[in-house]
């Protein structure tokens, strides 16, 4: 996948911002459109209103957490159970944010510098991160932040439009299409798990999380995600550390991590 860059030799922040905006309209845009059409359709089918579906795209800004929220509120789960589930499912943003922001240099500077860094943090999610990690080394320091802002704004803009599209489509289209739309996201993550996830600990986490989550769900639906995540993830972590003790090489950050 290639991403739109400012013209060679340019150092203008405005040109970088514009290039970032255009980059979001390419291939990353297609992935977001499919994903958020799927989420919009799911939100409608699970009884979430369109304004709340859009607000979740802006605030949670990552389909897995949004799917968890839509599903769990439809199941009648506890407020706290839902907030904790969404929060933990998004814990992967921490290891994603660290290497990306390392490209932006020192935090030193006034309030404006801090505000722009923390504001930029809100954009971190799979598609944004994958593209940004690819582009950052190619840009001079002064163009990095503007490019990221442009890219993030077009990613969220496209996703908001697709959320509306999926929501409306689910109310108008026949059941067969509706089924296909709500199937898009879980299938997408199944495929990512099957092909792109690297590292023994992460693969073990997926297997253990799925097995424990399914086993606990009929007994304890509110907390089955938490059980799968915390118990399954911890088992996988222990397995990974045991295996890691034998090979000393640190793992590369995985570019396809969801």
In the range 6-65, which residues lie near other proteins by CB under 8 A? 30-31, 34, 42, 45-46, 48-49, 52, 55-56, 58-62, 64-65
- DSSP state string for 151-198: HHHHHHHHHHHHHHHHHHHHHHS-HHHHHHHHHHHHHHHHHHHHHT--
What phi and psi, each to the nearest 5 degrees, are found at residue 99?
-70, -30
Q: Is 94 in the site for other proteins (CB under 8 A)?
A: yes
Residues 122-141 that bind other proteins (CB under 8 A): 122, 124
Q: Judged by CB, which is closer to other proteins: 14, or 177?
A: 177
Residues 150-209 that bind other proteins (CB under 8 A): 175-197, 201-202, 204-209
CA angle 251, 67, 3 (to 5 degrees): 55
Residue with tokens 């499919």: 34
Q: Judged by CB, which is closer to other proteins: 14, or 191?
A: 191
* Farthest CA pair distance, the chain: 61
Residues 101-120 that bind other proteins (CB under 8 A): 101-102, 104, 106-107, 117-118, 120
With contact defined as beta carbons under 8 Å apart, do 231 and 179 qualify? no
* Interface pick for other proteins out of 21, 86, 135, 145 (rule CB under 8 A): 86
Q: How far is the CB of 155 from other proteins (least distance, A)?
A: 14
């Amino acid at each position: 996948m290639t991403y739109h860059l400012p013209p060679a030799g340019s150092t203008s922040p405005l040109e970088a911002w514009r290039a970032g905006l255009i980059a979001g309209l390419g291939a990353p845009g297609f992935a977001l459109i499919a994903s958020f059409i799927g989420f919009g359709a799911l939100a409608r089918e699970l009884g979430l209103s369109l304004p709340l579906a859009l607000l979740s795209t802006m605030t949670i800004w990552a389909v897995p957490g949004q799917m968890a929220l839509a599903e769990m509120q439809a199941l009648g789960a506890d407020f706290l159970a839902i907030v904790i589930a969404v929060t933990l499912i998004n814990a992967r943003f921490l290891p994603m944010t660290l290497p990306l922001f390392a490209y932006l240099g020192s935090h030193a500077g006034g309030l404006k510098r801090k505000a722009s860094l923390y504001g930029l943090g809100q954009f971190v999610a799979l598609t944004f991160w994958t593209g940004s990690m690819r582009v950052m080394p190619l840009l001079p320091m002064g163009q990095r932040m503007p490019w990221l802002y442009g890219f993030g704004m077009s990613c969220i803009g496209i996703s908001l439009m697709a959320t509306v599209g999926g929501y409306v489509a689910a109310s108008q289209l026949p059941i067969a299409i509706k089924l296909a739309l709500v199937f898009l996201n879980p299938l997408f993550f199944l495929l990512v798990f099957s092909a792109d996830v690297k590292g023994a600990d992460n693969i073990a986490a997926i297997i253990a999380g799925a097995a424990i989550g399914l086993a606990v769900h009929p007994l304890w639906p509110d907390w089955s995600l938490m059980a799968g995540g915390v118990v399954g993830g911890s088992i996988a972590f222990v397995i990974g550390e045991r295996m890691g003790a034998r090979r000393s090489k640190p793992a590369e950050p995985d570019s396809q991590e969801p």
